[in-house]
Amino acid sequence: MSLRTLDTLGDLAGKRVIVRCDLNVPLKDGQITDDGRVRASLPTLRALIEQGAKVVVISHLGRPKGEPNPEFSLAPAAARLGELLGQDVLLAEDTVGDSARAAVDSLTDGRVVVLENLRFNAGETSKDEAERKAFADQLAAFGDAYVSDGFGVVHRKQASVYELAQALPSAAGLLVANEVAKLGKVVTDPDTPFTVVLGGSKVSDKLGVIENLLPRVNRLVIGGGMLFTFLAAQGHKIGKSLLEADQVDTVRGYITEAQERGVELLLPTDIVVAEAFAADAAHEVVPATDIESSSFGETGIGLDIGPECAKAYAAAIRSSKTVFWNGPMGVFEFANFANGTQSVAQALTEVDGLSVVGGGDSAAAVRTLGFADDEFGHVSTGGGASLELIEGKKLPGLEVLGW
């Protein structure tokens, strides 16, 4: 089976098309701090507008716990969407009530309305299939076709992702189709050398990725908080650095498997150790094998890979033809501990091949550090979804579209 795409829906002129976008943007004091997800929704919406469809955008934002909460209103996202599309975009005051019905009824060809936060209705995320289906049927009444374009939620069996796709003629939008194509190539047909770079705080979050990709990669590069569990598995002392003690044996097994498979496992040679977890904490560079040799002794905490390690990782990345990266190399939110992540991101922009940034914290990091999405081969819009796809898991929101 292959993923159903927009062209399978035929001529959509004059038809009401419900588009599940991911407008779950970060907000501060009611203002959007990163509009990347809004921008990512534009190609599909513009394609439908050009066809003359009547577009009904649905999305969630945050975790409002199944009831209306002004703090999680889609108003800022709808306003930004209107600015980017160059048209007035009406926001309904509810999801399936009188306001939503009036908004949809007012639609003319080529115009867009946004329904209020899906998660204001408990049926969206309910574990009860009947409750989800009831909510999906209410949404389906607003449309003639459904387009799934919120990649960040396709790993969830939620009403707007799964049951709604069953209730109407459905297809993947351009964003979801592109995500599947790029991430699918990483898993099934990567050009070599193929390097996977993993960071972030926890090894346990990346176990599935390591298991699925170890048989396929040429290099596995480890950074972030998870690196200290690898160092502990090798018998090194790590001070007060982050450690998942219950994963040490598992990691030791991965180290052995990498050796047996001829996979080059890159671990840090030096570490930036700090006196405390703080932006302005005193810090120094020490060998990765002797973290407690810092002047902070047993209380030092590793917050970034060291400069020599950063250079080595960057060189390994640049010499690859396919690179998948998920997880920062250090606490990039603090300028003193952002060098490792900066170096890795820069190297990804210089890959002669396909470089993929795996959503979530990695996507946030590259933007925070001043990189543009188009400097990379692909920046995923879904952290959890991209990881699960890379792990080889079945994603409900893609299965329902024929994938």
Active site residue 37: yes
Question: What is d(CA 25, CA 27) in angstroms, rounded to the nearest whole number?
Answer: 6
Q: How many residues does the chain have?
A: 403
Residue 389 burial (C-beta neighbours within 10 Å; 0-12, 13-18, 19+):
buried
CA atoms within 13 A on the CB side of 334: 18
Measured CA to CA, the distance from residue 184 to residue 153 in angstroms comes to 17
Phi, psi angles (nearest 5°) of residue 399: -55, -40
Is 150 an annotated catalytic residue? no
* Residues placed in the known binding site: 22-24, 37, 60-63, 119, 156, 206, 302, 333, 359-362
Beta carbons within 8 Å of 174's beta carbon, 6+ residues apart = 6, 43, 44, 47, 149
As a whole number of angstroms, the distance between CA 179 and CA 382 comes to: 9
Annotated binding site for substrate: 22-24, 37, 60-63, 119, 156
Cite the annotated binding site for ATP by residue number: 206, 302, 333, 359-362
Catalytic residue check, 182: no
Rounded-to-integer distance, Cα 325 and Cα 323, Å: 6
Among the listed residues 46, 202, 216, 318, the single catalytic one is: 202
> What's the burial of 96, exposed, middle or buried (CB within 10 Å: 0-12/13-18/19+)?
buried
**Of 4, 16, 20, 37, catalytic:** 37
Active site residue 384: yes
Active-site option among 123, 360, 382, 397: 360
Active site residues: 37, 202, 360, 384
